Amino acid sequence: MPIEKTTALANSNIAFIKYWGNRDAAYRVPLNDNVSMNLDHAFTTTTVEFDANLNADQIVVGGADANEATRQRVSAHLDRVRALAKIETKARAQSENNFPTGTGIASSASAFAALSVAATHAAGLALSERALSILARQGSGSASRSIPGGFVEWIAGHSSDDSYAVSIAPPEHWDLRDVVVIVSTEEKKIGSSEGHAAAPTSHFLAERIQALPARFHRVRHAVLAKNLSLLGPAIEEDAIELHMMAMTSVPPIYYWSPAMVQVIQAVQQWRADGLAVYFTLDAGPNVHLICEGTDAAQVESLARAIVGVQQIIVNVPGGAAHLIDQHLF
Ligand code: PMV
C-alpha cells in the first residue's frame, strides 16, 4: 500500500441556515437542508501518515495527545478511511487549529474536513468532492460543508449516500465578511452531538421543520443575489431558533449567555444607526457579525469597544479543503 505522509488544510464554516437534529444519528444525516459560508481565517491543518509499525492510532491535537473521547472519534473516522482503502494499517494524525477550539467557531467542521482529505490521500485513495463530503459528514455533520469552497449548501438527502454538500457560489462571488466576536474561550460543556440528539425533545421542532423550506430558499436566493438586507433577517431568525430549540430541549441546553445578548443588542443599535450588519450564532457563546467588506472595519472597531470582548477574527469567504506541502511532523 502507498505510505505517503499527507497534509491538508480545511476552513471552518458558519451556517446561515443551521443543521440541528439528525434523521439518522449514526451516519449524521440531517433533518434539514442547510447553507453556510467557509471562513478563511479559521482553519485546521492536519497531517496523516499510515505506518505498519504502529499498534494503535496516534492522535495529537494542538501539540498534545488527544483526550480519550477525541481519540476514539478520530480513530473511528480513520476506520472509515481504512474500510474504503481496504487496509488495516494504523496511522499517526496530528492537527492544529489557528483559532481557539470549543468556542462556537466550529472546530469539528474544519477538523474532520482536513482529516478526511489528508487521510484518504495518505491511504492512496482519490475521492471525488462529493465522496469526501459524505465521508467528512460522518465525522461531524458540519464538516461536510467545509469540503467545497465559498458559499455551500448541504443537501440533507435521505440516507448516507445522498447527503452531501456542494458549492453554490465561489469565495469571490460576494465580499461578505464574518467578524467573529469572541467573548469566551471556554470549552462548551454540551457538544453539538448531544444537542442534535436532544432536538426531537423540543416542542419547537415541528414548527421549525415547517418554517425551514421557505427560509432556506430565501437565504439561498439572498446569497446568489448578494442581497444582505434579505439575508440578514433570515439568518438572525434561524440563529435565534437554534437557541430556542436548545433551551426548550428536555433537559434544556444553554449555549445562550449574557455576553452574547450584549453583542446582539449592540448590533440592533448599530443597525438602527444605519450600519448594515446582522448576527448569527452557533452552539457556543460567541457571536458572528455578518456584513459587507465596505463596512467590516467599522463593525470590527465597534465590536472591539464592547466590554468583555476578548478577540475578533475577521473572515472573508474561504476556499475548498485542499492538500498543502507543509507537514506538521
Ligand atoms: O457538525 P456538528 O455536529 O458540530 O453540528 C453543528 C451544529 C451548528 O454549528 C450549531 C450548526 C451548523 O449548521 O453548523
**CATH code, domain carrying 227:** 3.30.70.890
- 142 CA closest ligand 1 atom index: 1
Same domain, 214 and 165: no
Q: Domain residues for 120?
A: 6-172
* 108 C-alpha to ligand 1 centroid (Å): 9
Same domain, 180 and 167: no
Q: What pLDDT score was predicted for residue 101?
A: 64
Q: Is residue 322 part of a domain?
A: no
Same domain, 268 and 293: yes
Q: Are 26 and 159 in contact (CB under 8 A)?
A: no
Q: Are 116 and 147 in contact (CB under 8 A)?
A: yes
pLDDT in tens, 161-198: 999 999 999 999 999 999 999 998 877 788 899 999 99
| Average pLDDT estimate for 290-311 | 96
Same domain, 231 and 111: no
pLDDT band at 99 (very low <50, low <70, confident <90, very high): confident
Q: Is residue 85 part of a domain?
A: yes
* 122 C-alpha to ligand 1 centroid (Å): 27
At which of 127, 151, 172 does a domain end? 172
Same domain, 157 and 214: no
Same domain, 146 and 181: no
Q: What pLDDT score was predicted for residue 106?
A: 62
Same domain, 267 and 147: no
* Count of structural domains, the chain: 2
- DSSP β-ladder status, 287-292 and 277-281: antiparallel
List the grid coordinates of 66.
488527544
User: Pocket residues for ligand 1 (CB within 6 Å)?
Assistant: 15, 18-19, 34, 106, 108-109, 140-142, 192-193, 196, 242, 282-283
Same domain, 31 and 134: yes
Same domain, 153 and 185: no
At which of 172, 189, 208 does a domain end? 172
Same domain, 145 and 182: no
Q: Distance (Å, rounded) from C-alpha 306 to C-alpha 322?
A: 36
Same domain, 28 and 55: yes
- 17 CA closest ligand 1 atom index: 13
Q: Is residue 323 part of a domain?
A: no
At which of 172, 203, 237 does a domain end? 172
Q: Which residues, 6 or more positions from 225, have their beta carbon under 8 angstroms from its beta carbon?
A: none
Q: What pLDDT score was predicted for residue 156?
A: 98
Same domain, 46 and 190: no
* 65 C-alpha to ligand 1 centroid (Å): 25
Q: Is residue 84 part of a domain?
A: yes
- pTM higher than the cut 0.85: yes
List the grid coordinates of 44.
485546521
